[in-house]
Chain A
Amino acid sequence: MTETVKMHAFQAVNAALHQAMEEDPKVLVFGEDIADREGGGVTGATIGLSTKFGDQRVKSTPISEQAIIGAAIGAALAGYKPVAEIMLMNFTAVCMDMIFNHAAKLRFMSGGQSTVPITIRTLTGAGWQTAGQHADHLEGWFAHTAGIKVVAPSNPADYKGLLLSCIQDPDPCIIIESAGTLFIPGDVPVDQGPIPLGQAKVVAEGTDVTIVSWSSMVVRSLQALAPLAEAGISVELVDLRTVSPWDRETVLKSVAKTGRCVVVHEAVRSFGPGAEIAATVNEELFGKLKAPVRRLGAPYSPVPFSKPLEDAYLVSVDTIVATVKEVVGK
C-alpha cells in the first residue's frame, strides 16, 4: 500500500509548490498577497514559500493583473518557470490580453522559437455568496483559445499531481482551484508525483450511463452515485481533470460502452464546454447512442448573491439524479 496523507486541496497545492521549487531553481511563485509577509495567499496555498525560498523567487505583487502575467511571460521567455496567481478567476478578465493575445500565441506566432511555460493558478466557484464578480467558472473562455492548457482538479491528490505537471509543462497552463472542492479532504500519496495533463480518470465504473464532469461537479456527481445505484442505475463517472486538451479517447470509450452520456459542469451551460463534448460524442458515436447526450450547467445568468438563487444556480445532486434517470429511462 502506498503511504498517504489526508489533506485539503490547498495543502496539496502548497506541497506541490514546495516540491517544484525545491526540484527546479527556475520555478518562481508570485501574485497578490502570496508572500508570508502578506499571509501566504488568501487561501494559504503559498504559506512558507517566501520564508523558505526567499523574496527573489517568491514575490508578492501589487494589484496589477496585466503586470503579473506580463512579468510571467517575460521571465518565461528568458528561461524561468513562473507560477503566477491571479487571485480570483474573474480577475483574469483584467489581464486577458496578456493571456489570450500573448501567452497563448507566442509559440505559434514565433514559429516555435518562443516558449512560454507559465502556470496561472486561479480560484473560483459559486456557493459562497460572493456573487457576480468573484465566482464564475470560465474554463470555456480559455479552452476556446488555442495554445493554453486548462486544468480543473476535483480532489487533493489530483491538485498536487496536476499542478506539478502544469509547472513542468513547456506551454502555458491555467489551473482552476474551485471553491466546491476546497474543504473536502482527500488522501494524497506521500510520493505523489506529476499526473499527466490531458488524461481523464474513471472514478467509478458502470454500464448504463457515462457522466463526464470535472472540478466541483465531480464532487456532486459522486454524491449522486448512491441514489442512482439504489434506482438500479450503474454509472460510469469520468473526471476529465484537463478540460483542454481533453481526453476524447477515455470519454468515447466509456460512452461506447454505456451508450449514454450526461456532461455536468459548473460553468454556464450555453456555449459551455459541455457543448463541445456532447457534439464530439454525437459525431463519433451517433449510431451507438441509446439516448441524446445531455448537458447540465449553470443557467444563462450571472452568479447571484441571494442564497436561494445561488442554490438554484448550481447544478444540484437532485438534478443530476433526475437527469440521469431520464436518460436511462427509469
Chain B
Amino acid sequence: MAEQSNSPAPSTETLVDIYRRMIRIERNDDTIRKAMRLGKLIMPYYSARGQEVIPSTISSLLTNEDTICTIYRGIHDMVAKDMPLRPLWAEIAGRVDGTCKGKGGPMHLTHPETGVMVTTGIVGSSMPIANGLGWAAQLDGSKRVSIAYFGDGASNIGAFHESLNLASLWKLPVIFVCQNNGFAEHTRYENGTSVDFISKRAIGYGMPGFTVDGNDPWAMYAAAYEAIRRAREGEGPTLLECKTFRFLGHVLGDDDKYMTKEEKAAAIAKDPLPAFRARLLAEGHATEDQLTKMQADIQAEVDDAMEFGLASAFPSVAELRRDVFATEIPA
C-alpha cells in the first residue's frame, strides 16, 4: 500500500457528498434488484454492491467536463458521476426515453452531458478509448481528465498494456482505475494474474501506480486527488488499484461457488456503507437526521426514476434503421 502524504484530507462537505453518491448507488442497485425479482425488469445485471466508495470518491473530485469510460459492471460509476436516474432507468428497461433510446441497455449506457462517454461490454476496452479522450483534452489545451474504469481481470488483456504504454509515452491526462474485487468473472485473482499487486504493473510503463483500500473514502480521496492533480497539471497518467469486493457475484443469480461462504461473509461484514456512515456521525460530519433525510430523498428520486423508466414506451421498430450511420439507412 502506497503512502499518500501531500494530499489534503477531504472536507466535511466532500465527505457528505461522497456519502450521498454512495447512497444513490446503493438505493439504485437495491431498487434494480427488487424490480428484477418482481419481473418488472429483465436484463443481465452485474451488481457493483460493495464497490460504492471508489467512483463516489473519484467523482467528488470531477466535473461534468471530465469524462469516464466504464464497463458492464459500471452503473455505479455512472450514478456516482451524477447521471440522471430517469433516463438511466428507461435505458435499462429498453425504453425510448432511455439515454440511448433503449438501444444500448444496461451494458452500453452513454450520457455525454455528465461525461459518461462509453460503457463497454468487452473486458479491458474502456482503456484504449479513454486514452483518446485524454488525447483530445490535451490537444484542446484543457484541464479535463479522462477516467478508465475496469476490473482486475482486464489488467490481463492486451488493451491494458497497450493503453498504459501509450498514455505514459504521450503523457495523457488519464487515470486508470482498477476496481479490484478479487474475481475475474468466476476466476480468483491469483489464478489469473501473475503479480500480487496490479499497481506493480505501472512500473513497467513508467507511471506511478498505487494500491489503495477502495473501501476507505479517506484513502481513496488521497490517492484520487493526487492522480487527478497530476493529470490536470500535465504530468501524465496514474494507475490506481482499488481493492474492494463484489457482494453479489459476477452476474446476478450466479451461485458464488467460486468463493467461500466465510470470505463473502467477512467482506459483507465490512460493508463500506454502514462503516462510513458510522464514522461520519462519530466525527460530527453529519447528523443522524441529515443522513436519514438524504436517504429518503434519494429513495424518492430512485422510485420516481423507476416509475418513469417502466412507464416509458418501447422504441418503434423503425429505430433499427436509425443511428447505424448518421443518415438513416434504407428500409
B128 and A74 contact, CB distance less than 8 A:
yes
**Stretch of A36-44, A99-107, A229-237 that contacts chain B:** A99-107
Chain B residue numbers with a CB within 8 Å of A56 are 138-139
Q: Are B104 and A77 in contact (CB under 8 A)?
A: no
Contact: A69 with B100, CB < 8 Å? no
Task: Say whether B324 contacts A146, CB under 8 Å.
Answer: yes
Provide the bound-state CA to CA distance between A156 and B120, in Å: 39
Residue-by-residue, is A75-118 near B (CB-CB < 8 Å gives 1, otherwise 0)?
11111101000000000000001100110001111111111000
Contact B131 A245 (CB under 8 A): no
Complex interface: chain B residues within 8 A of A82 (CB): 132
Number of interface residues of B (CB under 8 A): 48
Question: Please, which residue of chain A has its CB at the minimum distance from the CB of B323?
Answer: A112
Residues of A within 8 A of B325 (CB): 107, 147, 149, 170-171
CB 8 Å contact bits of B103-118 with A (1 = contact, 0 = none): 1100010111000011
Contact with A along B81-103 (1 / 0, CB 8 A): 00000000000000000111111
**Residues of A contacting B112 in the complex (Cβ-Cβ under 8 angstroms):** 77, 113-114
B322 surroundings in chain A (CB, below 8 A): 112
* Stretch of B15-23, B47-55, B156-164, B239-247 contacting A (4+ beta carbons < 8 Å): B156-164
Q: Does A64 contact B (CB under 8 A)?
A: yes
CB B102 to nearest CB in A, in angstroms, measures 7
**Considering only CB atoms, which chain B residue lies closest to A118 in the complex?**
B132
Q: How many chain A residues touch the partner (CB < 8 A)?
A: 43
CB-defined interface of A114-148 with B at 8 Å, one 1/0 digit per residue?
Answer: 11000000000000000000000000000000110
Q: How far is the CA of A74 from the CA of B98 in the complex (A)?
A: 23
Interchain CB contact under 8 A, A115 and B159: no
Contact B329 A77 (CB under 8 A): no
CA distance A245 to B324 in the complex (A): 12
B158-177 at interface with A (beta carbon < 8 Å) = 158-159, 162-163, 165-166, 169-170
Given contacts A75-B133, A80-B139, A107-B326, A70 and B128 within 8 Å (CB-CB): yes
Further pairs besides A77-B118, A107-B325: 4, Cβ < 8 Å:
A64-B166, A78-B67, A110-B108, A171-B326
- B interface, CB within 8 angstroms of A: 67, 69, 98-104, 108, 110-112, 117-118, 120-122, 125, 127-140, 146, 158-159, 162-163, 165-166, 169-170, 322-326, 329
- 7 closest Cβ contacts across the A-B interface? A74-B132, A70-B128, A78-B136, A111-B101, A111-B100, A110-B110, A67-B162
Can you list 13 residue pairs at the A/B interface with Cβ under 8 Å?
A: A70-B130, A71-B129, A74-B117, A77-B133, A80-B136, A101-B120, A110-B100, A110-B108, A111-B99, A111-B103, A113-B99, A114-B110, A146-B324
